[in-house]
């Protein structure tokens, strides 16, 4: 196969054949096509493939197409445009694939942000047993064994899989949203803590002091008053 590029391989302009070849390979692949494999298949450099894909992605966006060419998990794939999600949801058969439970989603988030992490560490964070949930996530292919703890017992350490990146539309775990975006600023937390603190001594000091020389308030016996005649 001849190299489908113009005379200048680094040019922003590429032949129709090269662009079509890249589109065809990515289109028929069920999973994101690794950039190096794509370059090998179309007989050009990785840098050229990156530029071709970037150009195609920009072209689709400018045309307002209902799909996108995106870089995911180290490769490229076609996916529906987020703006068309409502129509895609109508097409997808409800219940075709079971959804993850809230417990599974919580566990998956813990693994994603704390990996590599052991089953015991996950359980300590969640406060409940996670054996069944970990088995489910492993069976679904979202997490996998990545290493062993060098400490006593050599516990299995879990991390997210390539499939997880594909499902989340991420190129790597470093693309996950920063947890700091969801955690209040330390000054806000401190202010909340100060506002919630209860100091009994301050309540006592705040009450007006009673004059020792002032006459004591009369004591009324309700039992006697109940038997006394009305005025």
Three-class DSSP category at 146: strand
pLDDT tens, position by position, 161-179: 999 998 888 889 888 888 7
Beta strand pairing status for 117-118 and 67-72? unpaired
What integer best gives the mean pLDDT of the chain?
79
Please give the pLDDT value at position 167.
Answer: 86
Domains of the chain: residue spans and CATH = 16-87 (1.10.10.10), 102-179 (1.10.10.10)
Cα–Cα distance measured from residue 69 to residue 23, given in angstroms and rounded to the nearest whole number: 9
Residue 101's pLDDT is 86
**pLDDT > 90 in the chain, percent:** 48
The pLDDT score that the predictor gives to residue 15 is 85
In the chain, what percentage of residues exceed pLDDT 70? 69
Q: How far apart are CA 132 and CA 134, in angstroms?
A: 6
Residue 203 has pLDDT above 50, yes or no: no
Q: Locate tokens 């097409």: which residue? A: 91
What is the model's pLDDT at position 207? 52
Strand segments (E) across 56-189: 67-72, 75-80, 117-118, 143-148, 156-160
- Fill in the DSSP letter of residue 171: S
Section 212-231 average pLDDT: 49
Q: What is the pLDDT of residue 2?
A: 43
- Pairwise pLDDT comparison (91 vs 106), residue with the higher score: 106
Neighbouring C-beta atoms of residue 97, cutoff 10 Å: 7
Q: How confident is the model at residue 194 (pLDDT cuts 50, 70, 90)?
A: low
Please state the pTM of the whole predicted model.
Answer: 0.49
């Amino acid at each position: 196969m001849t190299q489908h590029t113009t005379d200048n391989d680094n040019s922003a302009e590429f032949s129709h054949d090269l662009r079509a070849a890249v589109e065809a390979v990515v289109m028929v692949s069920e999973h994101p096509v690794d950039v190096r494999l794509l370059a090998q298949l179309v007989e050009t450099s990785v840098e050229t493939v990156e530029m071709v894909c970037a150009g195609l992605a920009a072209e689709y966006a400018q045309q307002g197409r209902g799909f996108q060419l995106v870089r995911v998990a180290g490769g490229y794939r076609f996916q529906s445009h987020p703006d068309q999600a409502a129509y895609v949801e109508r097409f997808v058969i409800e219940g075709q694939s079971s959804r993850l439970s809230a417990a599974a989603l919580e566990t998956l988030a813990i693994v994603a942000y704390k990996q590599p992490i052991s089953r015991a560490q996950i359980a300590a964070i969640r406060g409940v047993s996670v054996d069944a949930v970990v088995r489910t996530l492993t069976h679904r292919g979202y997490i996998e064994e990545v290493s062993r703890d060098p400490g006593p017992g050599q516990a299995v350490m879990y991390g997210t899989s390539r499939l997880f990146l594909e499902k989340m539309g991420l190129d790597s775990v470093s693309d996950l949203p920063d947890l700091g975006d969801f955690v209040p600023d330390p000054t806000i937390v401190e202010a909340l803590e100060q506002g919630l603190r209860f100091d009994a001594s301050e309540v006592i000091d705040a009450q007006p002091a009673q004059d020792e020389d002032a006459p004591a308030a009369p004591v009324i016996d309700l039992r006697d008053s109940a038997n006394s005649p009305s005025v």
